Each structure stands twice: as structure tokens, then as C-alpha cells.
Amino acid sequence: MKNSHDAIIIGTGQAGPPLAKRLSEAGMSVAIVERHLFGGTCVNTGCIPTKAMVASAYAARVARRAGEYGVSIVGDIAVDMKTVKARKDAISERSRTGVEKMLRGLKHCVVLTGHARFRSGHWAIATAKAPSRIHIDPPLGRAGLTETEAQRRGHSVLVGKRPMSRVGRAIEKGETNGLMKIIVDEKSLEILGAAVLGTGGDEVIHCVLDAMYAKAPYPVLQRAMHIHPTVSELIPTLLGELLPWIGPGSLESMT
Ligand SMILES: Cc1cc2nc3c(=O)[nH]c(=O)nc-3n(C[C@H](O)[C@H](O)[C@H](O)COP(=O)(O)OP(=O)(O)OC[C@H]3O[C@@H](n4cnc5c(N)ncnc54)[C@H](O)[C@@H]3O)c2cc1C
């Protein structure tokens, strides 16, 4: 085995494997080192297992509310935590082995297990991707600034806001908790931030994120044609209902 590489990556979490793949595909010789479980926090104890368990909780909640939807279930709804855990473990394991297999299949990449440490003045790419968001039920998708943060930074703030109880798709699903909110700079027309707390919120936020990433002025998104009936179709509607935000309480009458 070679004992020198173009790049040494420590950790196989969210950051390390895509970097190893990209460098290896660019023809660089790469070594990636993992001291514990392939896939790191996200796959083994973070994003994936928590969302698998939230899905079980969601199934129990929908089953308990079945009568509201005109569906009758005979007998009590019980949660079998052993099965919940087994399902969660199987989902994590599938991802974990997938990460390891992908790394071991890379042409110019050596996979090492054990604790990596520096001995001389060489540099290495130490991966870290500070935790960013936690999914809850109903989901929360958030991007950029809140109206208060935007105002503190000197923006002249416009806000569009709507409770989920006024979103057709949420009403059909019987999941009307939460709200949608979008924050815009009045002068530049730039979208500064958004929050969607409610059914589909973790997916809906991406149409706002994409527009923010492209630095598109908000009318571009306002004029976009979205599929009906969805939660996302309300984003253009919100952008057509923007109101000046003066401070806390200025939009209370809308909710
Ligand atoms: C409960 C929970 C829920 C979460 N939910 C979400 C979510 O829904 N969405 C989201 O975006 N984020 C979520 N996160 C955050 C997300 O898991 C982390 O942001 C992400 O895993 C960080 O990736 P990383 O590659 O930087 O580090 P890690 O995933 O921590 O990977 C680092 C890897 O490096 C290895 N390592 C460290 N030091 C060495 C060494 N010296 N030698 C060899 N190997 C080493 C470790 O063993 C580990 O495998 C959640 C986190 C938690 C705890």
C-alpha cells in the first residue's frame, strides 16, 4: 500500500465521502480514514435514524386519527418499540454499508479503519458540518433570516404570511398545524428568508432556497406556475401578499 497520498480525509460522515469521490474521480490518490462507523453521525445516530423513528410516530398518530378520515380500525393502536427500533436499525445499516461499499469501489481511494492523527506538519482535510437542522412533526423548513434579524441588519422588510389552516393541501390531509412565512427586502426585491412549519415544510422550503441561491428577485418566484394542489403553490401567493414589517406584532392580525 502507498504511504503517501494527494489527499487524506479523516471521517466518513456527510462531508468526507463526497469529497473522496470527487477527488478520486479527478484522478487524485486519496486515503479516507474512519475510526468508528461508516456514515458518521447522520447515518448512525443523527438524521436518518431519528427520521425513521419520527415516521413510526407519524404512522401511529395517523392510525389513531383514522376515524376522522372515515377509516375504522378495530382494536387499539399499539406501538411496538422493538419493531420501531429494528426498522430504524435496518435503515441505518443499509446506509452505512452503502457508504462503505461506495468508498471501497472508488478507483483511486484507499479506505483505512482506525483513529487518524497528525504526526508532522502535513495537512489533511478534517471534515466537519456543523449540525444544520432538526426535523420535527410537523416538519420545519427554514432558510436565511427571520424578519427580526433582517430588520436588525438594516433591511426594509416585507413579509408574507399564511397559517396552514388556509392551505388547501393541508386541509385535505387534515394537517393544519403551523404556518408559512417569507421575508423580502423591499429595495433589492431579494428573498432574505423563509420558514414553513407544517405538512411538507421540509420539501417546500427548497423552492425558496433555490431562488435565494440563484439570487433571483422575488417576482421571478411569484410568477412561477406551481402544481395544484400542493403546499408549494402557496409560495407565489405569499409573495403576492407581502406587507411591510414594522416590528413584532405587525402581522398578528393575519394569523
Ligand atoms: C440526533 C441528530 C439529528 C440530526 N438530524 C439532522 C437533520 O435532520 N438534518 C441535518 O442536516 N442534520 C442533522 N443532524 C446533523 C448531522 O448529523 C451532522 O451535521 C452531520 O452528520 C455532520 O457530518 P460530518 O461529516 O461533518 O461529521 P460526522 O457525521 O460526525 O462524521 C465524522 C466522522 O469522522 C470520524 N472521525 C472523527 N475523528 C476521527 C479520527 N481522528 N480518525 C478517524 N475517524 C474519525 C467519526 O467516527 C465520524 O464517523 C443531526 C444530528 C443529530 C445528533
Q: Given the CA of residue 47, which atom of ligand 1 is nearest to it?
A: 5
- For 25-48, write each residue's pLDDT tens digit: 999 999 999 999 999 999 999 988
Q: Which residue of 8, 12, 14 sits with most ligand 1 atoms within 8 Å of its CB, as the best mutation to test the pocket?
A: 14
Give pLDDT, residue 253: 37
Which sequence spans correspond to the domains of the chain?
7-113, 132-254
Burial (CB < 10 A; 0-12, 13-18, 19+), residue 125, is middle
Does the domain at 132-254 match CATH 3.40.50.150? Answer given as no
Give pLDDT, residue 137: 77
Is residue 193 within 6 Å of ligand 1 at its C-beta?
A: no
Angle at 237 between CA 206 and CA 228, to 5 degrees: 70
Give pLDDT, residue 251: 46
Superfamily of domain 7-113: FAD/NAD(P)-binding domain (3.50.50.60)
What is the distance between the terminal CA atoms of the chain, rounded to a whole angstrom?
64
Angle at 156 between CA 152 and CA 157, to 5 degrees: 85
Does the pTM surpass 0.85? The reply is no
Give pLDDT, residue 138: 87
Burial (CB < 10 A; 0-12, 13-18, 19+), residue 23, is buried
- For 187-226, write each residue's pLDDT tens digit: 999 999 999 999 999 999 999 999 999 999 999 999 999 9
Is residue 191 within 6 Å of ligand 1 at its C-beta?
A: no
Task: Please give the helix or strand (H or E) that residue 250 lies within, else none.
Answer: none
Is residue 127 within 6 Å of ligand 1 at its C-beta?
A: yes
Give pLDDT, residue 1: 63
Distance CA 9, CA 32 (A): 5
List, for the chain, all residue ranges whose pLDDT scores fall below the cut of 70: 1-2, 120-129, 131-135, 249-255
